[in-house]
Structure formats: structure tokens, C-alpha cells
A and B are shown apart, each in its own frame.
Chain A
Amino acid sequence: MQKNMLKKIALGAALILGATTLASCGGSSNSADKVIRIAAGNVGEGAQKVWDAAIAKFSAENPGWTVEFNTQDDDIYETVGLENLLSGGNPPDAYFEWAGSRTAMHVLDGEAADITKSIADSSLKDLFPSTAFNTTTIDGKVYMLPTGSDVTNVIWYDKNVFTKNGLTVPKTWDELMSICAKLKSVKQTCFSVGNKDYWVAGNWFGHLYSRIIGEDLYHQIMSREKPMNSPELVKAFQTVADLNKNGYINASANTIADQEAYTLFFKGGAAMLPIGSWLVGIAAEQAPKKNIDWFNLPAVTGGAGDQNSVLGVTTGYVVNAKSKKVDMTIKFFEVFFSDEITAQWVAEGSAPLTKSAANGTPNPTTVRLQALLANASKLVAPPDTGYQLKIADALNVATSEVMGGAKTPQDALDAAEAKLAKK
């Protein structure tokens, strides 16, 4: 009787335990299933449609196979999300990344597959021009299939507002400031910035700082070889403090997210929007009739940096070195970069690096953006994707504080330095 009872309890306990251990075991990546898992941040509505088309085509060509495209909130993906996915029980076979220090980190951690040979053995070799992999090669090995080179920051402007007020595209920062003064006199907010998550103003002004203090010093500061409160940077921050003093940026800048700032700009709430090249697709979706164009950050007179520099970064997909389906993943990307899907990317407003992208009727705005990038005399890396997040955060928070008028440049940068110096 007693033994019987014990057995029952043991059984009950075992059942409960079993339910959960089963739960955990089932999670380990299973090479038998026919699902390719790909992870990315939020790609936007238009791009999502092209993804769906590429996945459908891949499934049709490879019966039984499918792709699970997993997107997350951008800010989460960049910080918690991807890291968790890669260390989780069901890691993705490929994932979105920014070329540069972030990808190099994955290589060190054994999470990025060397795909040099896979490319050479597949149609990818012919789909891309040979130069396409320059920025995604580390120590002679290719680690990323580039989807595009984003200009991370230009200044978009409302052409109608400019025409109405007799304004022309500025050549220098001072000219830009007189444009803003003019707009202020007609009660028009100059810039729409959605800086809730710090990277928008961080990118824009990061570029500006590099122009003022020079790319080398910018790089040294972002690599912690020079302190955050270096006098040159403090002085550069004054430009941002002046923008705040003059009220040229929307007062809500530090509370709204990037997308809300797009909406504000599209609705005529501001004449200019400093953001990256991806606005092309978003504008096509959200405000197709809006008459907009862009110009690169104007030259800062007396600045130490290259005044034609471009803020940009290559983005693309890294194949997970731990994936058991590398071959099928490559097969999917052959579809993804095929001429047919490339045409859809072009139509969507993206600028794929594949050869056939030139054959379509690309968006003229995108073509000019790509030309800007291709002809850049100097490429500057954005703080958050080009450098360690912690350092980028310190700089970007200081920027947001000065932009919002909460601190003086000196105080903000002293605090940033103090935060980083602590160990």
C-alpha cells in the first residue's frame, strides 16, 4: 500500500518534471526539420512584402522547405534580442547585422560562418559584383552577404516648403542655420527628430562631430583612446547646444521614436528630417505624394574633418557558424538575391548590391544616394553600429541631453566620461 502510494507521488512528480524537461529538450536545434530561421530587426512594411515573396519562391523551388523570418523591435534586436537568439535553444541560421565591429565580434565568438567558398560555389558569385564583398570581408574571409549599403544619415527636406520660402539646398552649416532662421521667422519648425532611443540624433550629430573634430579624433574617442570630454568634442557639442537655443528642433525630439518623427515630417510638422537612406521605402509607403529630397550634411567651415564625408554602413546577413543547414541557407539567399527578387527590392526603394539592380528602373533618389556612398571621399561609421554600444550610448545620451537643453556640453560630456571611466 505504502509503496504503491510512493509510486504514485513519484509518478506525479515525474510527470511535472517531465513536462518541463521535455519542453527544454525539444528546443535544441533540430537538423531534421526543414525550416530556415532568419532573424532581423524591424524591416518595415514594404520590405516585409518582398521577404514574403522571396520565401514563397524558395518554398516553391524547394518543396517542403520554408523560411521563418523573425523580426523584432529594432532597439531590442540590437541589444538583448540577437544575443539571446544566438545563445538560445533555437538559434537562427542567418541573422541581420551591420558590417564592421559588430560582425567582427560574431566572428570572434564563433557565430559567423566563413562563406567564402559557399559564395564561390554558388550562383551568388555571379549575382554580385566582385567589389560587393569588400566591406564584409575580415582577414580575407567573407562573413556577410550584403543587402545594401545604407547612408545612415542625410538631411531630407520638404521641397515645397523650400520653394515657398525661396530657399535652396545649403552648401555649408552656416547656410543651413540661416535657412532655419528664415523658417523660424515663418513659424516653421526646422528639424523633425525622433530621438527616444538615442540613435537618431546620435547618428546625425556623430557625423557632425566627426566633421568638426576630424575623423581620427572621432575614432579615437569612440575607441576610448581619448576621453569623451576632450576639449575639441566639447566645442563641437556647442553646435548642438546652439540648435537647441534657437529652437530649431521639434520640442518633442527626445520623447518620440524615429517613426513618429517621420510622421511629423510627412504631416508638415517640420521642414527637414535628418535620417538615413531607408526613408525612401518608408516615404513611398506612407507619403507617396510628398515632394521630398535630400542633401548630405553640409560642410562645416573650419572643421578639421573631411567636409565631404558620408556617414554609412554596409548591412546584410551573416550565416550562423553553428547552423546545421548552411547549404540550404545559402540556397535561400540565392533566391533572395536572384534577379527576380532583386527587381522587387529595387521597386520597393531599396538599393541591393547585386548586379541586376542596375537593370531595373531604380528609384532615382536611391541611385543618387548610392552614388553619394560610392563616391564618398571618407566613410564615417555611426556611433551605435560602428563602435561598442556602451560607448555609443554614453555619447548619444550626452548628445540628447545637450539637444534637449538639459545640460551644457561640458557637463554632459564630463558625465559621459565619468560613466565610462568607472570599472
Chain B
Amino acid sequence: MKKFSWVFHLLLSIYSLFFAAPLIWMALSAFKGNDEIFDKPFSLPHSYNFKVFLDAWSVGGLSKYFINSALITGISALVVLLSASLAAFAFSRFDFKGSKQLLMLFMIGLLLPIQSYFISQNKLFEYLHLKDHKLSLVIPYVGLGIPLATWLFKAYLDSLPKELFEAARVDGGSDFAMYRYVAAPLLKPGIATVAVFTALGTWNEFLLAMIYIQNESYKTIPIGLLTFSSRYSTDYQLLFAALTVITIPMIIIYIAFNRQIVAGLTEGSLK
């Protein structure tokens, strides 16, 4: 049985090659001039001048997009973590009037497609002047992330033995103290999951970012790159250099955290 290993290796290699070829081609094209890209698309570049990546990064103002994306994603994840864990704690641990109905409300959110609300949300945000600000996207992204996060956190808390909390109560712990000192520390493994889901949902979010952010200095990566790609759409070398260089930090972050990301992802879908 073991001897078939190479067959699988071969299959996987072929698949991976097909899969990686466009990305590799893009990176290599960044070293070629426009004429070379068109006339000899498959040839290797004559020389490798890595300065083109620096140029693309600075010409395109890519740092700005990157920082905005990181900021929006980070704050959104933080707010989701905080508010969803508080809510999940109440749903999981307290008996109170309307708890079922409120939970139901959140659970509907799990299925609601973005289409169901973005048209009116746009008008609402317009009315309240919430559009086109550095943090405009935080509110919709938090709203987007809360249902799933609440559900996941609640599932975690439900699995904890109730004795833990009862003991704390006997010791005179207040409701908040129980959240802070009992529930929160135990939620740590869930935090990675929720953070990963929120981050994956917001990092590349396109539709809302396109509608809400027009100001150059507030653009996130997806919309910033769209501007860049339409401005330099005929300068393929610069375009490919920019597209390559923006993906490098993402790949580094991913490889560094891939264990947590994959674990988080699967925890979420297994719950």
C-alpha cells in the first residue's frame, strides 16, 4: 500500500503546480517589462531587480491600505470578541425573560445574507453621516460577525460544568465577576476561532467597502487595489509587482499562524 505513495505525491504535485502556476507567473512578470510580458509571456525574466516591489509599494501607497485593513480588522475582531462573549455568557448562564426569543434573533443573523440589509444600511449610514470615515466599516463588520461569534461562544460556555459557576456564586462573586474571572479565561480557545472567522470575513470584504469608503486615505486593501489596478491597468509590470508585494505579508502572517487559523476554522465549522 505504501508504494502508491508516489502516485499521490505526483497527483498532488500536478494539482499544486496548476494551482500555483498563475501566482508564480504573476511574481515573475513583475520583473519583466510590458513588451516582454506580452510577447514572451512564458519566458523567464532577464534580470531580477527587486526594487520594482519597493517602487510598487510606495507608488501605490500600499502601506496605507494595509494599515487601514489591519486597523479595521483588528478593531472589528476586538469589539466582536468583547460584545459576543458578554452576550453568550448571558444566554448560556442566566435564566431570564425573553432569552429564547433574543437568542433566536441572533441565530437568524447566521443565515441572513448581506443583500438583505446593505441597501437600507447604506441609506441609514448616509443619513447618520457614518460613511467615509476611517472606522466606518467597523460597525457593519461587527454586526456581520456577532451572530456567529455569539453562537460559538455560547457553545463553549454550554459545555462548561455549571458547578464552576455555582462555586463562584457561593463565594459571593457578582455576575460580572463570574464573566471576568470564570468564563473569560475559559473562553480562550474560542477566542482564536472567533478572531479567525471575523478576520477572514472582514479582511477581504469588498461590497460594503466599495459602497462606504471613497476617500483615498481610508481605503482598505480590496478597494485600494481596485483603484490602483484601474490607474495602472496598462502598466502590467507595476501592477503585477504591486499585486505580488501586497500578498507577501499576508502569506507570511498566514504561515506563521496557520495552525491557529486552521484550528479556528475547523472548530467553527464543527460546532
A interface residue numbers (CB < 8 A to B): 1-2, 4-6, 8-9, 12, 16, 19-20, 23-24, 26-28, 37, 39, 42-45, 48, 68-74, 76, 80-82, 84-85, 87-90, 257, 259-260, 262-263, 267, 282, 286
Contacts and interface: CB of A to CB of B under 8 A. Distances in A.
Nearest to A282: B234
Contacts of B226: 73, 76
B131 A2 contact: no
B70 to A, nearest CB: 16
Contacts of A2: 174
A45 B139 contact: no
B79 A70 contact: no
Given A16-B79, A72-B227, A262-B234, A88 B132 contact: yes
A68 B216 contact: yes
B129 A24 contact: yes
Nearest to B122: A84
Contacts, number: 124
A39 B214 CA distance: 9
A27 B214 contact: no
Given A9-B176, A84-B131, A88-B129, A19 B136 contact: no
B43 interface: no
Q: Could you tell me the dominant secondary structure of chain A's interface residues?
A: helix
Nearest to B234: A259
Given A23-B138, A45-B232, A260-B234, 4 more contacts: A37-B215, A42-B227, A82-B214, A89-B136
Contacts of A89: 129-133, 136
Contact of A70 (B82, B210, B216): B216
A71 B219 CA distance: 11
Nearest to B128: A24
A9 B135 CA distance: 24
A5 B175 contact: yes
Contact of A73 (B75, B138, B227, B234): B227
A260 B216 CA distance: 24
Given A19-B79, A23-B138, A81-B214, A87 B131 contact: yes
Contacts of B176: 5-6, 8-9
B133 A72 contact: no
Top 5 nearest A-B pairs (CB, nearest first) are A88-B132, A27-B133, A23-B135, A5-B174, A5-B176
Contacts of A260: 233-234
A411 B152 CA distance: 53
| Interface residue tally on B, bucketed by range | 35 or more
Contacts of A71: 216, 227, 231
Nearest to A91: B132
A147 to B, nearest CB: 18
Interface of B: 34, 38, 75, 79, 82-83, 86, 126, 128-136, 138-139, 142, 172, 174-177, 210-212, 214-217, 226-227, 230-235
A257 B135 CA distance: 32
A5 B233 CA distance: 57
A24 B128 CA distance: 8
B214 A72 contact: yes
A257 B82 contact: no
Contacts of A76: 210, 226
B207 to A, nearest CB: 11
Contacts of B131: 27, 84, 87-89
A82 B211 CA distance: 10
A308 to B, nearest CB: 32
Contacts of A259: 230, 233-234
Contacts of B172: 1
B160 to A, nearest CB: 20
Contacts of A81: 214
